[in-house]
Amino acid sequence: MTTQTIPEGVQAFHQRELDAGRFLLQCCGGCGRYVYYPREGCPHCGSTTLEWKSFSGLGTVHAVTTVRRKPADGGDLNVSLIELDEGVRLMSRVDNLAPDAVRIGQRVKARVRVKDGRGLVLFDAIDGATA
């Protein structure tokens, strides 16, 4: 009989939270800065007192490109670098606009899409809002 091992560590915890529909950020107890992607220690001050916290989910498109794909492969999609209001950046996509309509400076809000039990962070543009 084999025993299935449950992955441990900050990356595994982060993915389990996403799979449950929750997007959390780590906040450093030493310097108070937010950290993303999940880590064992703060990249700013070296502290290991990182706490998981809820946050606004609001951010701004910092960079964007359109990946061209055949319609049979799902069609074009945007790949965006989003800077969250908490000061961290992550790569994702803006899901509620056509790929060519996503603009640098556009305000967005994070959400988690769970598909086949796996959570993924996506963003939706906030109508008419720019930084």
- CATH 2.40.50 in the chain, residue ranges: 56-131
Joined tokens for residue 116: 């086949």
**Residue-by-residue pLDDT tens, the chain, 131 positions:** 566 666 688 999 999 999 999 999 999 999 999 999 999 999 999 999 999 999 999 999 999 999 999 999 989 999 999 999 999 999 999 999 999 999 999 999 999 999 999 999 999 999 765 55
DSSP conformation class of 22: -
pTM listed for this prediction = 0.86
Q: How far apart are CA 72 and CA 55, in angstroms?
A: 37
Looking at residue 73, what DSSP letter applies?
G
Rg (Cα) of the chain, in Å, rounded?
Answer: 17
CATH architecture of 56-131: Beta Barrel (2.40)
| Region label for 116, one of left (φ > 0), alpha (ψ between -120 and 50) or beta (otherwise) | left
Amino acid at 107: R
